[in-house]
Amino acid sequence: MKVVMTGAAGFLGQKLIARILADPQLPSPQGPRAVTQLCLFDVVEPPIPAVSSAKSPAISTQVGDITRADDLTQLLGEQADVIVHLAAVVSSAAEADLDLGLRVNLDGTRTLLEVCRGLAQPPMVVFASSVAVYGGALPAVVTDNTALTPQSSYGAQKVMGEQLINDFSRRGLIDGRVLRLPTIAVRPGRPNAAASSFASSIIREPLQGETAVLPVPETLALNLLSPRAVIANMVHALGIPAADFGASRSVMLPGCCVAVSDMLAALERAGGPAARERVHAQPDAGIEAIVGGWPARFDTAKANALGFSADRDIDAIIAAFIEEDRIDAC
């Protein structure tokens, strides 16, 4: 089975690559299949994690532009069985630069799908969408059928990508699976341009002996999912028969609804009072406007029925970070 991944240099891409290299057997609607080719694509050279198994697939990497059809034609070749589309400009960056967000998040997705039309067989395409597709006046509990009224350019671009995936799937050009991701925490590495970056930094930095800035009120609630759970759900999505998704290929993944104050309390349980004291409030109206418009409470009946899963609680999310990604403070 040939698996192609865009955005492979990003943290989710790196974790998914490590998962595939550790166990190249992946689910499919027809049963488990071995990954024989893993093709990695990004705007920078995608690193290859130092993980291997007895049956590691052949790996190739390509640096290119997601909006260039020639680059994607070279990447996909004549056939790809699974395409995991992670390439994106994140929320605050897409808000700050409309043209950049449109070019990568919308034009890049459309270009990828157009190239898929030329393949010998329709590929399975897993598209990473976002909770940012929701916004505006929302019910107390959001469902998969709640109207999509995003209040950011990033959210709007993800909605457009979702609609393309759904239409290409309806036409039989691809077999799409759209996973709406909650806020992902705790991300490894350093803070990035995502508006939700603070949700990771207020845990990550204090547990590594560094200070962190909190730009939103402690009363703000977030819907969280750990990187570990995101990867498990992405892998799970590969085995679901297309018909089980129903009329829409989009599904909101389940997460934990957690107030920032509860995150800070869990931080103190994991790292002691000293870790909690490393978080300093520094209000940022721009970040609060973006993240505060995202819903925190969901009825994920569709995801639950399809077998997707969430972390147990915020303590489990922090424990996963400590186990997999924490860099011990000097």
Q: What does each C-alpha distance from 89 to 10, 139, 147 come to in angstroms?
A: 11, 28, 24
CB-based contact 37:58 (threshold 8 Å): yes
Q: What does each C-alpha distance from 51 to 10, 21, 321, 325 come to in angstroms?
A: 17, 6, 18, 15
Q: Which residues contact 45 (CB under 8 A, 6 or more apart)?
A: 9, 61, 63
Q: How many CB atoms lie within 10 A of CB 89?
A: 22
24: which 2 tokens? 């190249």
Annotated active-site residue in 11, 127, 154, 308:
154
Alpha carbons 106 and 133: distance in angstroms, whole number: 14
Active-site annotation holds for 134: no
Q: How many CB atoms lie within 10 A of CB 45?
A: 12
Q: Is 299 exposed, middle or buried (0-12, 13-18, 19+ CB in 10 A)?
A: middle
Q: Which helix H or strand E contains 317, and what residues bound it?
A: helix 314-324
Q: What does each C-alpha distance from 134 to 37, 129, 160, 179, 296 come to in angstroms?
A: 36, 11, 13, 14, 10
3-state SS class at 94: helix
CB-based contact 237:82 (threshold 8 Å): no
* Residues labelled catalytic: 154
